[in-house]
Amino acid sequence: MEITVTDIAQTRLNELVGEHIQNGQAIRVFLGGGGCGCSGPSFGMGVDTKTDEDTLISIGELDFIIDGDSSESLEGASIDYVEDVMQQGFKIEAPNAPQGGGGCGCGGGGH
């Protein structure tokens, strides 16, 4: 499994969670729910403990956990930190993630 983490993303992750990670924990990267219609997939990150079904990847000074359900979608993904006038935060781009379906709608039955 290959994931790329930019230098700035590694620095910001280390600043945010580095001292909070306890023995046996790492940063979990996962394909989340959500992602309505044409908006594409939704990704998340958080501190967690590895299970037997997870893959552990070391990048720089940080360890990342990928669960089996997310591993195919996250193969070849890149994690960056973006800071400009429009947005600030982590950005995960995954070329192998499932794309939205044919429609661009969310919600119920249009009542």
Domain coordinates in residue numbering, the chain: 3-93
pLDDT-wise least confident of 2-6, 40-44, 87-91, 102-106: 102-106
Between residues 105 and 74, the one the model is more confident about: 74
Q: Is 27 in contact with 45 (CB distance < 8 Å)?
A: yes
Nearest to 59 by CA among 45, 73, 69: 45
* Residue 111 confidence (pLDDT) above 90: no
Over residues 20-78, the pLDDT tens digits come to 888 889 999 998 765 554 556 788 999 999 999 999 999 998 999 999 989 999 999 99
Burial class (CB in 10 A: 0-12, 13-18, 19+), 75: middle
Topology of domain 3-93, CATH: Hypothetical Protein Aq_1857; Chain: A; (2.60.300)
Q: Is 41 in contact with 54 (CB distance < 8 Å)?
A: no
